[in-house]
Structure 1
Amino acid sequence: MTRISLKSKMVLRLSVGAALTALVGGVSMPALAQSGESRAAADADTSQNEIVVTALRRESTVQTTPMAITALTGETLTNAGVVDVLDYAKFAPSLRIIDLGPGQRRISLRGIQASGEPTVGTYFDDVALTGSVGTASDAAGRTGDFTMFDVDRVEVLRGPQGTLYGAGAMGGAIRVITNKPTQKFEGLVDAQISTTRGGDKNHAINAMVNVPLVEDLIAARAVMYRRFSGGYVDNTFLGRDNVNEAKVTGGRLTVRFTPTETFTLDASAMYEDVEAISPIWQANLGAYKNFEQVLAPNNGNSQLYSLTANWDFGPAALTSVTSYQERKTEDGFDDTWYTATFRTPGRCATVVNGGAACSPTQLTGFFDYVDSLFPMAAVVNAKVKDFAQEVRLSSTGEGAFSWTLGGFYQKRKNEGRYEDVLADAATGEIIKPLTAPAYRRRVRDELRQLAAFGEGTFAVTPELKLTAGIRYFDYDKTVGGFVDIPLPLIGAGALPPKFVDASEKGTLLKFNASWEASSDIFLYATAAQGFRPGGANSVIGLPGALTSYEADRLWNYEAGTKLQLLDRKLTLNLAAYQVDWDNIIVRGRTLDGVYSFLSNAGAARIRGLEAEAFLRPTRGLQFTLSGNYNSAKLSEDQINANITAAGRKGDRIPFVPRWTGAIGFEYTVPVSDGVDLFLRSDANYVGASYSEFRPTNVNRKKVESYTLVNARIGVDFEESNTGLYLFVNNMFDKVAINRQTQASWPSSNNTTSSPPRTIGINLRKGF
């Protein structure tokens, strides 16, 4: 029977203040013991445990890849309880997630974040996940995600990856590499139950089975999962506790066809369904307290199908990746408090009486009309379909010159519908089927991209290598919409259909030099460009001259070193970077204040230091340390001849902390033959940030710093392939806020955070 190692790999993180300024870079943690390996073999030599990555579209180890990269093995992720991007964000310096609930997560690296298309590409294997554009042309704030179970590794590539990965990777890329079918029969079941302080119970079950169908020819691997989070936010207006529950159900099926040793064909289907209520609460009422009249949905359904062919024909390898995605989302917010601000005599005069004061009878009728709209939910339903095809050819030899050439095509269609609908006053739940909405706006967004790319590396000597890359891109966008149900109360009138086109073409460049000074010292320097597509605003009635906006671009300058020290017991990777970001896509208003729309305004300069270290002083004991210092500020005012946006030169970019860091340890000890005990703990520090650019903005909120401590203790039974673990997350029950905003109406101090203290039991059984 195949042994599935259950050894836990721990990452413990805590800010170490100024000490981290001396450390800059990106380290991966050594791979955990694979199935069938003993712990002694896994611990024998860290040089044998270097993780192999494919960030450069060909295999290399973390320590010989000339970029800042964090690589996390599947066992590390499993034993740390990682299920999605929120969980593994703490493992990678400068990776930040602004979380508004499932399907509404904004991912950034190195402080590069703004409205519009994503700044970080999220990939499952070789397929980029498509974010829903919605009705605000803000796909970056609606990045898709899938639950991670049975994953080989995660690679976090920090810095622009424009030449090989294209648009959406201007800040970096996240690559989730799933386990592929093998010619072994094996399986794994992972179950847990937990309870959150002040909340309901949670449970989850994950399962994997791998089956050889035709010997040495066809194999299949299936993954299924379901998890339920009971919620911890109490709605004081409705008198309902733990309203933010979430249910996630999904799975993955991959079939591998291997007719020869040099050709592999993988067909994969992924599915995930999310039913959730927004986790937003109002900080001015107290921790985890909500005062909204509507339970806002965070629902989504994602499907991803891909066909990947790999053919190694000697001097080169050909890869073809064909993918199709569909994603439906339904999210919303309480629009009652905002709309109620129009319940005034002055608004009655504007809407009912042409500006003249309303009579008592008119005022009574007007107030009755407004009251009939409450409670009101603003709901956005969006559907995106995405087809993509990539073909690339890479050299396979060991000669002085290695290269990759490729082409890419994408066609994305997005339809969005924004509606104000009624909710049940007693329960806060949206009334379904939806009645005639009080307001409705429809939007359509279509994107077509073509690209050709190439990257080559020349070995001047076996130790000194020079790399250059280029990508040519050409995109077209068609955007438009209409308002067919107006709401005069708030000044939203009916608008006829209007569609506009925007297009752009250009090139991206990359230059890199690396020097392997010895087997333990590796140095590199990089200058690379990144970009995001521009587009056209779907703001109906906006003057034509303001409709289009251009792509924004940046240059990233970086130097780093990767070191193996103390007889390879210490791995230390360091990097320093400067990002010059120009023509930023921002959301602002016309100079007369009438329209809110996307445009290009301002620039930013981001400077930072990154570090990761791994120390194994003796067998069974390991320490990790990571940190990031990031100074992300505007270098120009966010204003042009047509738009005024919030930021001014010198302002910090919102929600980007200057300091983040982590420290951790793990100790593993055998207690009897075939039984191992391990202890794990990690502490993750996130520094303070602000919700708005301007210090003078009355709605600016300080997002306070926090430190989260997690711990785990477990026992592995080798002969029965079983593991039993007790864990606690947020051990000291900190209120860890990751986003907080403020507007002018009641119930607008919107806050999201990590859950309170959660204690649970995890059981894993392999066969």
Structure 2
Amino acid sequence: MFQQCRRPARTAHARTLLFLSCCLALGAGMAQPASAQAVAGSAAPADGKSRDAVTLDHVVVTASKRVGQLKDVAGGISAVSQEELEAVGAQSNADYLGRQPGVVFNVGTPGQSTAVIRGVGTTAGIDQGQGPTGWYIDDVPLSEPSYAVGIPDIDTFDLQRVEVLRGPQGTLFGASSLGGAINYITNRADPGGFDAAVEAGINNTYNAHGELGYTAKAMVNLPVSETLALRIVGLTRMDAGYLDNTGTGDKGSTDVSVNGGRASLVWQPSDATTLSLMGMYQVLKGDDQNYAHSAQGKYARNSLLLARTDYDISLFTARLEHAFDGADLTAIVSRDKKTHELHSDVSRTSALRPFLPVDTPIDATEYMDIDMRTAEVRLASPADGRWEWLVGGMYTTADRDTRTFTSAEGAYGILSKVRPEAEYDGTDNVVRGYSVAEGRESALFGEIGLNFSDAWNLTVGGRLFKSRYDIRIDRYGFIYVPSQHPDPYRIDEDGFVPKMSLRYRPSADTTWYAVASKGFRLGNPNTIYPCACDFVTPDGWGSDKLWNYELGLRSSFLDRRLALDAGVFYIDWKDIQVRLVRPDNATYGTNAGKARIYGLESSLSFDVTPNVNWRTNLTLLKAELTEDVLTASPVLRRGQQLPGASDVQLSNTLTWYFDTAWQPSLVFQHRYLSEAPQTLSDPVATVAGFNQFDLRLNLRRGNIGYSIWGTNLTNEHVPLSGYGTSTLALYGRSEFLLRPRTLGVTVSWKY
């Protein structure tokens, strides 16, 4: 793996920096992670003086579903604070998640990007069913039990922090956290005083043809009384498109807009009781599908129509916290609704093509609505006793309604003469599909820990779960004559997910830990139409499970100027949920094969001088199949690398603070991601294999801050995820690219 870390980069400067960073990071620690960002803050101090020494003492996390310090967590974790997000100018997931140890962020269709943790994934895009990474906001699950409508790309403005938990989190967080979990922690309303902030900026992206991107965001915290407060956040953002659609003739057709806001209402009737209400609404729209076609040349795609996307989410949560004499109660109820409208151009691949005039645009549209309700109650003991325990229960429902239509102008008039008119609805929606799905999951979970002494802690826990998933499908129109009404399909599953950890703290600055944990992911039915060929598509697939074993160290040295978080892990994954290809090129899901993943994750933060801080995160990974999958087409072979599981992942951040007027800080960032396959079925097509360089100058005068910044300064052109090789020479591969060089300015104001 170290040899791969030394592989040639694209420039001499990049090669030198990559080699030095690998050497330093490897020398720093050979074990598991909690990102350098979790180890130390990176925002410039308000007085412009040097930063405090690196320390783990004040990094607060809720990874164990109770408030605690990061240094006490047994397992890999990163905690990226609001100050750190602001210091590097992070706006969305793509700006910071891919820089965390063990995390690869796969850019996708707006609203459908994914993150893979520790290589636990079978595609560099959307999985066939439930994703392998759990997504949460204030502990509320955002991941459905089936194919995701879309994980909201929560804007970082006024977030308290983002926690990234590496390794399976099935015991406390449940299904879908197979490889890990990502938990957004929002800022709550604060009765303690008035607060406000505003941020605005513009930016220019290469090949956007002069169209500027922009951001405008605002927050106000209003104390109503000593016990009641309201906090409101609003934002709008537009990322200018940089792909040209050679079919429609639109330049920079792939604009993406994000609009939304959050509101938090907090009532604290006593020191022991807090009631929090939170509502969020966000709309994400894309003017065209944002993947390029490799055969069309640089930054280009080809379609006969603009394939629009629209993802909306509304979320409402109520949280009650009460401190009894011997335990703390937390009760959460939530409801979130997601709607998804996705258009795809199928003009050259649809079965309608031979019957319609040449170059008639054919639109395949998917409408999906998910209504998800969750309730969770838990009790936790105080964290300072000989025994520490937590026990809880949860129940969630997820109802999904999906409608799919294939249409073309004038199609009904033509096709109703080819197939019986009764199979159509009298419109140009000449192919129609409807499905209704209901998911239910309930669980009891808990952990109990014994503090043998001030240094030793043993914690064991588990989750007992039961789930059910029902789906009914109806299909009509040109392809389905006569109409198809397959029998309803149900999957019932239950099981137990254990976890055990041992922690040793020989001193206040050093923690060793060992963890053995199990993760699981729910099964799903196949909803694809039957193949008009000699192939029987499986009805569905069951859950897949894995065991994760890890050893780690967190420690500070040199009077806390240097902090290290490092670990090694081994994962044994069985009955993998995979997406395979039928003879008619349609994909379906099934359980097939086994995989082995092992690696090293390390984070190091070093105050080189009182005004200069260097952070580096390094992940070395080996993720491969351990048995052949003969039922796949093409056959999958033992030793094949898992998609998106880059062998080497490296990020560096150098921050230089200046003790002068305007309190300047200069932030230089670099990251390297080695190549990996796009899919299991097409290992020749690869993603990643690039170095990225970013630079940012932050200034502050009084309450006003200014930033001048640039990302991807060398303008690397590389796919981050994709769909492999198309059979049509016009397209080539469908690839989601690293955003080209972008330059911008940002102005902010804080009360």
Change (3 A) 1:706 1:493: farther
Name the counterpart of 1:390.
Answer: 376
Partner AA of 1:130 in structure 2: S
8 A Cα contact 1:602 1:639, kept in partner: no
Distance 1:493 1:204 in 2: 51
1:464 counterpart = 2:417: no
Q: 2:256 aligns with which of 231, 246, 255?
A: 246
Taking the TM superposition and a 5 Å limit, the aligned residue runs for 1:661-680 are 661-672=650-661, 675-680=662-667
Name the counterpart of 1:223.
Answer: 233
Deviation at 1:130, TM superposition (A): 3.4
Distance 2:96 2:42 in 1: 20
8 A Cα contact 1:32 1:49, kept in partner: no
Deviations 1:575-612 (A, max 9, x none): 1011101111122367x879853221111000111011
Taking the TM superposition and a 5 Å limit, the aligned residue runs for 1:149-164 are 149-164=157-172
Q: Secondary structure at the match of 1:337?
A: coil
1:422 counterpart = 2:433: no
Distance 1:391 1:180 in 2: 20
Per mean C-alpha deviation after superposition, the further-off stretch among 727-736 and 541-550 is 541-550
Taking the TM superposition and a 5 Å limit, the aligned residue runs for 1:577-726 are 577-588=569-580, 596-639=587-630, 646-672=635-661, 675-693=662-680, 697=682, 700-718=684-702, 721-726=703-708
Change (3 A) 1:582 1:400: same
8 A Cα contact 1:119 1:171, kept in partner: yes
Q: 1:25 aligns with which of 10, 27, 32?
A: 32
Deviation at 1:300, TM superposition (A): 1.0
8 A Cα contact 2:671 2:691, kept in partner: yes
Percentage of matched positions with identical amino acids? 26
TM-score w.r.t. the length of structure 1 is 0.87
Deviations 1:255-304 (A, max 9, x none): 00100001001001000011212211112222211122221122111100
**Number of residue pairs matched?**
702
Deviation at 1:759, TM superposition (A): 0.7
8 A Cα contact 1:588 1:646, kept in partner: no
Partner AA of 1:749 in structure 2: R
Q: 1:264 aligns with which of 263, 266, 274?
A: 274
Partner AA of 2:614 in structure 1: F
Deviations 1:498-544 (A, max 9, x none): 31111011100001101002222211011100000113222455899
Distance 1:278 1:81 in 2: 26
Deviations 1:144-188 (A, max 9, x none): 332221011111000001100010111111111111111211100
Partner AA of 1:219 in structure 2: A
Name the counterpart of 1:347.
Answer: none
Q: 1:522 aligns with which of 494, 505, 511?
A: 511
Distance 1:631 1:34 in 2: 34
Name the counterpart of 1:197.
Answer: 206
Deviation at 1:497, TM superposition (A): 4.8
Partner AA of 1:677 in structure 2: P
Deviation at 1:38, TM superposition (A): 4.1
Unaligned regions of 5+ residues in structure 2, if any?
1-16, 412-425
1:758 counterpart = 2:742: yes
Q: 1:147 aligns with which of 152, 155, 161?
A: 155
Partner AA of 1:217 in structure 2: T
1:730 counterpart = 2:730: no
Q: 2:77 aligns with which of 53, 64, 69?
A: 69
Name the counterpart of 2:365.
Answer: 379
Change (3 A) 1:594 1:112: closer
Change (3 A) 1:381 1:224: same
Partner AA of 1:765 in structure 2: W
Q: Secondary structure at the match of 2:295?
A: helix
Deviation at 1:496, TM superposition (A): 1.9
1:80 counterpart = 2:63: no
Distance 1:594 1:228 in 2: 35
Change (3 A) 1:537 1:609: same
Deviations 1:453-475 (A, max 9, x none): 01111111110111101100000
8 A Cα contact 1:560 1:573, kept in partner: yes
8 A Cα contact 1:14 1:662, kept in partner: no
8 A Cα contact 1:480 1:537, kept in partner: no
Distance 1:663 1:167 in 2: 33
Q: 2:395 aligns with which of 387, 401, 409?
A: 409
Distance 1:654 1:244 in 2: 26
Deviation at 1:71, TM superposition (A): 0.9
Deviation at 1:17, TM superposition (A): 4.2
TM-score w.r.t. the length of structure 2 is 0.89
Q: Secondary structure at the match of 1:107?
A: strand
1:119 counterpart = 2:132: yes
Q: Secondary structure at the match of 1:438?
A: strand
Name the counterpart of 2:541.
Answer: 549
Superposition RMSD in Å? 2.6
Change (3 A) 1:204 1:595: closer
Partner AA of 1:409 in structure 2: Y
Change (3 A) 1:639 1:310: farther
Distance 2:289 2:585 in 1: 30
Name the counterpart of 2:470.
Answer: 478
Q: Secondary structure at the match of 2:86?
A: helix
Distance 1:62 1:263 in 2: 25
Partner AA of 2:447 in structure 1: E
Partner AA of 1:57 in structure 2: K
Q: Secondary structure at the match of 1:163?
A: helix
8 A Cα contact 2:203 2:212, kept in partner: yes
Name the counterpart of 1:184.
Answer: 193
Partner AA of 2:429 in structure 1: P
Partner AA of 1:705 in structure 2: G
